[in-house]
């Protein structure tokens, strides 16, 4: 039972009121019986302690001094905290739209968000996903997002068609595109695709697969694919364009053996065009180049963290999948994360460059022009901005025009 005890002693040897239940303490405070006490000590005693009772002797003068010291310390701490809060600048809100729903393809951005890297660079990043039938062009031009990720070929096509977008960070450094066909369909070499049904995504990512067919003068029936591999599994198409880090593994996981399929990796056919880069409107860059620099730099740091601890990264990817009601498969996402590492570090390095080399740009643009995807090649300095070099004050970089003679310098 809760008890209240007071021992009558001279003030210099006064005992402390002791309550072994917080509820009793409240009752004491309400009754105001504590006014003449030196100290009210509240202790919650567990059963395992055997009902141990604490008694302390504290001199009134010493207690007053102790209160003074503690009060001063707390006041200083609160003042310091208030000063720190005043020094923290407001975060800039930005909206980011990746090409697809949550998966390991975007692991670096999720890590930058979860580890507070975006906040460190003064950004409050909101992830916003588009529907499959909607293009990234519309997301940017309608100003539903500040930054998007897109394929390099798609970005060059948009810029060549007059849409003023710029690349501020080239994440992928090699191609992951693959044509896959069943050997049973009679397709063993690229020319065998003539007259066959080829499934290609219907938005944003058609340029390079069509360029490969054009380059080799292959006449095939193009079947638009919204997403997934079901049409190929049901034999509705003979060939399907897939990403090595994604749908290729899904095909293997569906029960198709590697010895049953023929694969055509685009980089084996002189179309090693890297995919994922970070894009924004030129207007956005010229208005706030520092924001663009910070978003790119924070995203690259996020990618570095993504590969340092892959187990932790996969847990975060699972979180984003569940929050957006996307099925999560650990084996598949692990495969994707490992393949992304190889695409971002093709030479086995460990530093995310985020740089679009002039030669890479010109090679890609020339191939797109040769196959009729674009009519003119946009100048390199108008398409790509190296925001990481710290020279973002003017929002302009016209040092390289994109002409072949400039790139070879």
Return the structure tokens found at 96. Answer: 């980011």
pLDDT at 123 over 50: yes
User: Would you state the pLDDT for residue 204?
Assistant: 60
User: Would you state the pLDDT for residue 77?
Assistant: 52
User: Would you state the pLDDT for residue 227?
Assistant: 81
pLDDT at 205 over 50: yes
Instruction: Report in angstroms the alpha-carbon separations of 101 from 62, 106, 132, 387, 404.
Output: 64, 9, 9, 27, 37
pLDDT at 299 over 60: yes
pLDDT at 212 over 80: yes
User: Would you state the pLDDT for residue 372?
Assistant: 87
User: Which one, of 381, 355, 101, 353, lies nearest residue 246 by Cα?
Assistant: 101
Distance of CA 374 to the CA centre of its chain: 31
Instruction: Report in angstroms the alpha-carbon separations of 250 from 66, 246, 331.
Output: 68, 7, 10
Phi, psi of 280 (to 5 degrees): -150, 170
Edge-to-edge strands of the sheet including 239-243? 221-225, 197-201, 239-243, 177-182, 261-265
Interval 45-89: pLDDT, tens: 333 334 444 444 445 555 455 555 545 555 555 445 555 555 557
More confident position, 376 or 80: 376
Look-up of token digits 């990746």:
98
User: Would you state the pLDDT for residue 349?
Assistant: 66
Dist CA 206 CA 194 (whole Å): 18
Share of the chain above pLDDT 90, in %: 63
48 beta partners: none
Please give the average per-residue pLDDT across 124-137, as a whole number. Answer: 89
Please give the average per-residue pLDDT across 279-306, as a whole number. Answer: 97
- pTM of the model as a whole: 0.74
Dist CA 132 CA 205 (whole Å): 11
Please give the average per-residue pLDDT across 23-44, as a whole number. Answer: 42
User: Would you state the pLDDT for residue 81?
Assistant: 54
CATH 3.50.50.60 fits 92-174+274-304+353-407, yes or no: no
Residues of the chain with CATH 3.40.190.10: 92-174+274-304+353-407, 177-269
Write the CB contacts of 381 (distance below 8 Å, at least 6 apart in sequence): 397, 398, 399, 400, 401, 402
User: Would you state the pLDDT for residue 136?
Assistant: 86
Edge-to-edge strands of the sheet including 276-281? 123-127, 92-97, 147-151, 276-281, 165-170
Write the CB contacts of 253 (distance below 8 Å, at least 6 apart in sequence): 329, 331, 332
pLDDT at 200 over 90: yes
Its CATH architecture, for the domain 177-269, is 3-Layer(aba) Sandwich (3.40)
User: Would you state the pLDDT for residue 346?
Assistant: 74
Q: What is the mean pLDDT of the chain?
A: 81
Interval 152-196: pLDDT, tens: 999 999 999 999 999 999 999 999 999 999 999 999 999 999 999
Instruction: Answer whether 101's CB lies under 8 Å from 107's CB.
Output: no
User: Would you state the pLDDT for residue 68?
Assistant: 54
User: Would you state the pLDDT for residue 347?
Assistant: 72
pLDDT band at 38 (very low <50, low <70, confident <90, very high): very low
Write the CB contacts of 189 (distance below 8 Å, at least 6 apart in sequence): 262
Return the structure tokens found at 164. Answer: 């003023």
Interval 327-339: pLDDT, tens: 999 999 999 999 9
Instruction: Report in angstroms the alpha-carbon separations of 109 from 74, 104, 153, 343.
Output: 39, 10, 22, 16
User: Would you state the pLDDT for residue 119?
Assistant: 98
């Amino acid at each position: 039972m809760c008890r209240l005890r007071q021992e009558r002693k001279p003030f210099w040897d006064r005992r402390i009121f002791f309550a072994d239940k917080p509820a009793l303490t409240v009752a004491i405070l309400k009754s105001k019986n504590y006014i003449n006490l030196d100290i009210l000590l509240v202790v919650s005693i567990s059963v395992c302690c055997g009902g141990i009772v604490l008694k302390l002797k504290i001199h009134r003068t010493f207690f007053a001094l102790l209160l003074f010291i503690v009060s001063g310390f707390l006041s200083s701490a609160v003042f310091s905290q208030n000063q720190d809060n005043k020094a923290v600048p407001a975060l800039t809100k930005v909206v980011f739209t990746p090409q697809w729903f949550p998966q390991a393809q975007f692991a670096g951005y999720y890590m930058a968000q979860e580890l507070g890297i975006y906040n460190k660079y003064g950004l409050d990043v909101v992830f916003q996903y588009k529907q499959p039938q909607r293009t990234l062009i519309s997301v940017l031009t309608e100003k539903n997002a500040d930054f998007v990720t897109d394929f390099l070929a798609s970005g060059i096509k948009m810029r060549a068609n007059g849409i003023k977008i710029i690349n501020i960070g080239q994440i992928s450094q090699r191609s992951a595109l693959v044509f896959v066909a069943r050997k049973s369909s009679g397709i063993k070499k690229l020319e065998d695709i003539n007259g066959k049904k080829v499934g290609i995504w219907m938005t944003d990512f058609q340029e390079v697969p069509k360029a490969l067919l054009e380059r080799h003068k292959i006449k095939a029936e193009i079947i638009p694919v919204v997403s997934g591999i079901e049409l190929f599994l049901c034999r509705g198409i003979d060939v399907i364009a897939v990403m090595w880090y994604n749908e290729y593994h899904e095909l293997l996981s569906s029960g198709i053996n590697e010895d049953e399929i023929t694969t055509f990796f685009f980089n084996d056919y002189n179309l090693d065009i890297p995919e994922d880069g970070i894009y924004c409107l030129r207007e956005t860059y010229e208005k706030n180049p520092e924001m663009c620099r910070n978003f790119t730099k924070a995203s690259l740091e996020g990618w570095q963290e993504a590969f340092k601890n892959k187990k932790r990264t996969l847990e975060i990817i699972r979180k984003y999948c569940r929050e957006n009601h996307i099925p999560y498969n650990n084996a598949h996402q692990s495969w994707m994360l490992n393949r992304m590492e190889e695409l971002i570090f093709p030479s086995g390095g460990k530093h995310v460059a985020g740089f679009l080399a002039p030669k890479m740009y010109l090679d890609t643009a020339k191939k797109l022009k040769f196959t009729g995807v674009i009519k003119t090649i946009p100048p390199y300095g108008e398409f790509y901005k190296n925001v990481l070099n710290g020279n973002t004050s003017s929002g302009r970089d016209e040092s390289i025009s994109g002409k072949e003679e400039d790139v070879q310098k």
